[in-house]
A and B are shown apart, each in its own frame.
Chain A
């Protein structure tokens, strides 16, 4: 079992729709969770971080964390073609301070 799992996609949504990206993790002791966006050939950039159960909103982005289900998600409202990218879920395991990445979900927003 991979430590951080994501559906590779592509997830295709029309412009203006809500895109929902999902991630599960295996280490129940994980404490910190991140979503990075990566355009093709570019470096990852941080979109959202979340540390406690519930929702965290920042503009069009909402991160949701459910530690009991070991599940973290990212919602993108009013999706734009410029949101088309690969979204990487990452988790810090409690004892290691190392960031473990999922393989990413490719999002395509159709004009």
Chain B
């Protein structure tokens, strides 16, 4: 079984809809991250969480919110989706004991019409 899983893997939604992307991990890591990837722009950090009670904004948090339900679960919500949020979204985890090497989930491809 994969250590970091994301659901759904693909999602098509309409402008204005609220959607949630979910991430679960079995690695036992405290630190979790949400990134988006657009062609030619690399990965950009949306939100990150260093433990269940810690939530921090990344470089592009506007239009997104997160919830850290447990050590193993970190969800990303788009409150009112817009077309320029069409992207590939990745969840990742890391462990400070491993020099912050990040382990990525398989990604969610989101299309906002």
Chain A interface residues toward B at CB < 8 A? 8, 32, 34, 41-46, 49, 51, 88, 90, 92, 97-99, 101-104
Contact = CB atoms under 8 A, between A and B. Distances in A.
B104 interface: yes
Nearest to B99: A32
B58 A98 contact: yes
A34 B101 CA distance: 8
A44 to B, nearest CB: 5
B100 A88 contact: no
Contacts of A34: 101-102
A98 B96 CA distance: 11
Interface stretch (B11-19, B36-44, B79-87): B36-44
Contact of A43 (B33, B99, B100, B107): B107
Given A46-B101, A99-B100, A88 B43 contact: yes
B105 A8 contact: no
Nearest to B100: A92
A90 B100 CA distance: 11
A44 B101 contact: no
A46 B58 CA distance: 21
Contact of B104 (A8, A41, A43, A98): A43
Contact of A103 (B41, B100, B102): B41
B106 A97 contact: no
Nearest to A86: B42
Contacts of A90: 102
